[in-house]
Structure 1
Amino acid sequence: MQLGLGLPISNPRLLTDWARRAESCGFDTLALLDRLAYHNPEPLVALSVLAGATSRIRLQTEVLLGPLRATALLAKQVATLDVMSGGRFTLGVGIGGREDDHAAAGVPITARGRLLEAQLTELRRIWRGKPYQGTTIGPRPDTPAGPPILIGAFAPAALRRVARHGDGFLCAAPLAWADKLVRTVHDEWTAAGRSGRPRLVCQMNVALGAAFAPARSAIAAYYGRDDWGVPIADPNELLDTVAAYRTFGADELVLYCYADDPNQVDTLAGVLGLI
C-alpha cells in the first residue's frame, strides 16, 4: 500500500517545504483539497509549483470540484500540469456540496452531477486530440489519453460514475463505513464490463504531538463543525489504522494534517518507518 501526504491549506508559502520533505522522506503522493469560497490555495496552480520543486513524488487533487470550472480550460490546465510534471499527476475529481462554492462560480448546485458527467466524457475526448466546440485543445498530455482519474463519491449515482469514467475510487469515508461504498463501486465496475478492478485511494486525518490542536481547529473551520474528521494523535493508533487500511485493500492511503508545521512530515515519516 502506498502512502500519500495531504497538504495543509492555510499557508501556501509553506507548501514547497512540505513537498520537498515529503519526497525526501519517501512518501508516494502529495494531495491537495479544493474549495472556491475559502482561503485554500487553488490546487492546480499550487501543484504546478510543487511539480517544479520535486522530481519523483506524484501529485494528486482530492478532490478537484470539476463543475466549478470550464471544461476546455480544465482540460488544458490538467494536460499542461501532466506534461510539465513528467506524467506525475492524478486528477481526483468530484462535485462538492457547498452552496457558497457553487454560488461563487455561478453554477447551480442542483446541476453539478449532470455537469460532471458530461465534463468527464469531454475531458477524455480533448486529451485524445478530438475536436471540442469545433477546435482542438492542446497540449496533449504526457500520459496517453490523459492522466488517471479518481472519482470521489458517496451517493449511488456518483458511485456509478466511477465505473463509467474513472480509473479508481477516492474514498473519503471513515473505514468504519467505507466497506459498503467500496463494494458498490466494485459491483458497478463489474456491471459496466470493466476489466480488473478500480484503484482504491483512502484518506484519514492525523496530527501528532503539538500539531494536534492547530490541526483540529483548522479541520473544524474547514468543515464548519468540530465533531468531524478529528485527527489521530496517538502514534500507535496511527500504525494500527494504517495496518487496518492495508488489510482493507487500499492501494493508497493519504494522510491529511491540517496544521502548518513542516516538521510534521518528518514526524509522520519516522513513526511510519519511512526514514
Structure 2
Amino acid sequence: MTMPVMEPDLDARVLQTWARAIDEGPFSSLCWGERIAFDNPDSLTLLGALGAWTDRVRLVTTVIVPQLHNPAMLAKALATGDMLCGGRLTVGIGVGGRHEDYHAAGADPKTQTMRGMADRVAVMKQIWAGEQVTESVRPVGPSPVQAGGPPLLVGTIGPKTVRSAAAWAAGLAGTTLDLDVAKQNELFDVARAAWAEAGNPKPHLATSFWFAFGSPEQARGQVLRHLRRYLNWIPTEYVDAMAPTTGWAGSEDELVAVLRRFAEIGTDEVQLIPTSSDLEQLQRAADVVARMS
C-alpha cells in the first residue's frame, strides 16, 4: 500500500494514521514516492517518521531519484533510515520524468539518464560497504542494518532500462497505467532473462497502479481528480483523455480478479496507489488483500 503523500491537505495525524493502519493490516510493504516541485512531504524526512510509526511492514521508496541528491548524503540518509526501521528498508530508484524537479533541486538535467543513476548507485554501494569515497578521517556512516545496504529496485516501464539495471538492482518497482497483464509479463520476462544472464538470483517483480473504490462514476471521478492534480505537468486535455483507462476503479470483487491475474504471471507484489486520503479506501483495500491471503 502506498501512502497518500500526493493528496492535498495532509498533516502529521493523517500520515501517522495511514502508516499505522498499513502496518497493522495485511499489506507486505508501505510505499511512498518523491517529488520536489510539489507540496508532498520530503521523502527522506518522512522515512524517519515511518520508521518510528511502524514495526512490521517493509518500507519501500517508489521511487527516489538519486540524481536529485548528493550521493554521499543520500547514502547516509538511507542508511540512517535502515537503522531506524531495523533493516526493513527497500529503495526503489528511477531517473524521474520531470525536468522541473531537476531544476528545483539544482540538479543537472543532463544526468537524467540510466548512466547518471548507475553512477550514483555505485557511490552509494561503496559507502554502504564501508569504503572511503573521499579523503576523510572516517568513512561516511552509519552502516546500514542490511549488509551491503538496502535492496535496490529499479523503477521503470521500459525493457532497455530493465536490462541495464540487472547488474545492480534486486528487482523492479514498475508501474502499469492500463493494467495490461500481458504487456507487464513481457517486461517481467525481460527482467528474468537479464538477471539470469547477469548470474543474479531471480528478480523481485513488483508493479503498481492507482486505485479507487466506489460506483463506476464515483470511482472514475476520484481517479480523474487525482490524476489532474498529480500529473500537473501534462496538459489537462491529455490527462482527461487518459483517465478513463488509467488505473483501476470499481468494487472489491473486481479488484480481487485483477490482482489474481497479476499473481498468475508471477508478480511478487502489487503496490496499490490511493487516489484519496480517505481511510475507508484503505480499509476496503485491506479487506481485498486479506481475501487474497
Q: In the aligned structure 1, how far is the partner of 2:167 from the partner of 2:20?
A: 35
CA contact (8 A) 1:152 1:169 kept: yes
Q: In the aligned structure 2, how far is the partner of 1:273 from the partner of 1:168?
A: 25
In structure 2, relative to structure 1, the CA distance for the partners of 1:193 and 1:272 (3 Å cut) is: closer
In structure 2, relative to structure 1, the CA distance for the partners of 1:234 and 1:148 (3 Å cut) is: same
Bigger relative CO (Cα 8 Å, ≥ 6 apart): 1
TM-score (norm 1): 0.91
SS of 1:172's partner is coil
Q: Does 1:248 align with 2:265?
A: yes
Aligned to 1:58: 58
Aligned to 2:275: 258
Q: In the aligned structure 2, how far is the partner of 1:156 from the partner of 1:242?
A: 23
CA contact (8 A) 2:63 2:155 kept: yes
SS of 1:256's partner is strand
Q: Which runs of 5+ in 1 are unaligned?
A: none
Q: In the aligned structure 2, how far is the partner of 1:99 from the partner of 1:137?
A: 30
Q: In the aligned structure 2, how far is the partner of 1:271 from the partner of 1:117?
A: 37
In structure 2, relative to structure 1, the CA distance for the partners of 1:154 and 1:25 (3 Å cut) is: closer
Q: Tell me by how many angstroms 1:134 deviates.
A: 2.3
TM-score (norm 2): 0.86
Aligned to 2:202: 197
Q: In the aligned structure 1, how far is the partner of 2:39 from the partner of 2:77?
A: 21
Q: In the aligned structure 2, how far is the partner of 1:127 from the partner of 1:28?
A: 25
Whichever residue aligns with residue 201 of structure 1, its letter is A
Aligned to 2:129: 128
Aligned to 2:2: 6
Q: Which runs of 5+ in 2 are unaligned?
A: none
CA contact (8 A) 1:171 1:202 kept: yes
Aligned to 1:115: 116
Deviations 1:171-230 (A, max 9, x none): 213334212222222222222222x20111111221113883444312232124232434
In structure 2, relative to structure 1, the CA distance for the partners of 1:156 and 1:248 (3 Å cut) is: closer
SS of 1:207's partner is strand
Q: In the aligned structure 2, how far is the partner of 1:12 from the partner of 1:258?
A: 17
CA contact (8 A) 1:151 1:161 kept: no
Aligned to 1:217: 225
Whichever residue aligns with residue 144 of structure 1, its letter is A
CA contact (8 A) 1:12 1:41 kept: no
Q: In the aligned structure 1, how far is the partner of 2:158 from the partner of 2:207?
A: 17
SS of 2:270's partner is strand
Larger CA deviation: 182-191 vs 95-104? 182-191
In structure 2, relative to structure 1, the CA distance for the partners of 1:12 and 1:192 (3 Å cut) is: farther
What percent of counterpart residues are identical? 29
SS of 2:208's partner is strand
Q: In the aligned structure 1, how far is the partner of 2:189 from the partner of 2:11?
A: 37
Q: In the aligned structure 2, how far is the partner of 1:51 from the partner of 1:44?
A: 11
The alignment of Structure 1 onto Structure 2 pairs a total of residues equal to: 270
Q: Tell me by how many angstroms 1:118 deviates.
A: 0.4
